[in-house]
Chains A and B, each alone.
Chain A
């Protein structure tokens, strides 16, 4: 969805609580709490997100702590520092990105693989 006025959290701003909406959000500052977007979330290099994240596309270049669920794709860029679970049908981790946690891509597992034993 195209957003005529993108939402921008500047580097000297902290948002605590619930952020929800249908337009793209760019974070250069800090968000703590819960993010629920029907759109694209970008966490820039200077950005910090400590939140449960739901978005269609998550572009992560900064620090992210918390489960990230993207309905389309999640990209961890080289500068990203991510901890927590990342769930998306398509996930990219670039060379240099730091990630500790769990990846879930919602793939169909072969019959002889029992889910939950990972």
Chain B
């Protein structure tokens, strides 16, 4: 397993960049970019621009999200910001405020 987990009590203020999947249970402020997937778990808080292959949001995200493949907002997601992805799924219960750009 070559991936990164930001634990629930961890706060990162800055930038995370990488080429592997990233799971966030804690708090990240700043900027996130990875060649693989980003999962923001239910208790997590992200105040950052996110760029990844796939982005799955279960927690709170404030910032612009760009997914090269797919963005998914789970029922418990709370997202404020612009979403850009060719495929976007918003589950029943998710709250979302922002622009959607599917590049059509």
Contact = CB atoms under 8 A, between A and B. Distances in A.
B19 interface: yes
Contacts of A9: 4
A17 B13 contact: yes
A30 B73 CA distance: 29
Contacts, number: 84
B6 interface: yes
Given A7-B6, A10-B2, A10-B20, A17 B30 contact: yes
Interface residues on A, range: 20 to 34
Given A17-B12, A17-B13, A19-B12, A6 B22 contact: no
Interface of B is mostly: strand
A21 interface: yes
Contact of A12 (B5, B8, B20): B20
B16 to A, nearest CB: 5
Contact of B17 (A4, A13, A18): A13
Contacts of A11: 2, 20
Interface of A: 3-25, 29, 33
What 7 pairs across the A-B complex have the smallest Cβ distances?
A17-B14, A13-B18, A7-B7, A21-B10, A10-B4, A18-B13, A12-B19
